Structure 1
């Protein structure tokens, strides 16, 4: 277990979220598949967008044209509430697994999950070996 700083950036419009997501790698899944890259210009048809750069991890809960943004910063000098974080190393969908329709390029990829326990547990994610 490690310590990190958690900040609630609150409910915001997608346009404001795009400003926050500048220079972050973003990952989300929608009806067209799994995506990794810059944030989509239009609100994606998804429930969550995960984003990261350096020590910063963002978790966006998408709700129609708005989203609720949480920020977890692994830098102990960052602003925010100090929280305990459990780090888990996992993989995306395994090759040959047929329940999820994603391209093979997204299968068996390394991903790091950062879990913040509490009354409302939060999970932040970083896809490894791709954009940083």
Structure 2
């Protein structure tokens, strides 16, 4: 496990889906629903799931707790940022524990619909903010990107 100190956590409160789309513009997004596990750009409508995770090439990650067509959103920034597409309602500095190369659940585990086989080739990381109310963010790296990074 690796620790990333002095990471900026931004909270956005409750956002409507258009605000979510603005916040997640340019991000890769992952979520699981009864149709399976998905990795795509931000959906045009809120997917039928409880959580959606997103990440950008600069290392920024987002975590959303969905509630119908709205979501509670937070972003995690490894580097200081001058601005964000949506103004956060709260910001704090946190330490983040990274669990690198976490496997997706097994092929016989029915937690969600099927996982496309190509997604099992990605490197999945869990970024955890420890404490009394721990929070987990997720990011993935495509196989070609992982090889370029030496992982």
**What residue in structure 1 maps to residue 120 of structure 2?**
107
Structure having the higher strand fraction is: 1
Range 62-71 or range 105-114, more displaced: 105-114
Q: How does 1:1-132 map to 2 (within 5 A)?
A: 1-3=3-5, 4-53=7-56, 54-75=58-79, 77-78=80-81, 80-89=91-100, 90-94=102-106, 97-100=107-110, 101-107=114-120, 109-129=122-142
Structure 2 unaligned residues grouped into runs of 5+: 83-90, 146-151
Shift of 1:108: 5.2
Q: Tell me the number of residue pairs that the alignment of Structure 1 and Structure 2 aligns.
A: 129
Deviations 1:19-71 (A, max 9, x none): 11101111111122111111110110001110011121000100111100011
Name the Cα RMSD after superposition.
Answer: 2.0
Answer yes or no: is the 8 Å Cα contact 2:124–2:141 preserved in 1: yes
Shift of 1:102: 2.2
**TM, length-normalised to structure 1:** 0.88
Range 102-111 or range 4-13, more displaced: 102-111
Structure having the higher helix fraction is: 2
Answer yes or no: is the 8 Å Cα contact 2:30–2:40 preserved in 1: yes
SS in 2 for 1:15: helix
Answer yes or no: is the 8 Å Cα contact 2:121–2:142 preserved in 1: no
Shift of 1:126: 0.5
SS in 2 for 1:107: helix
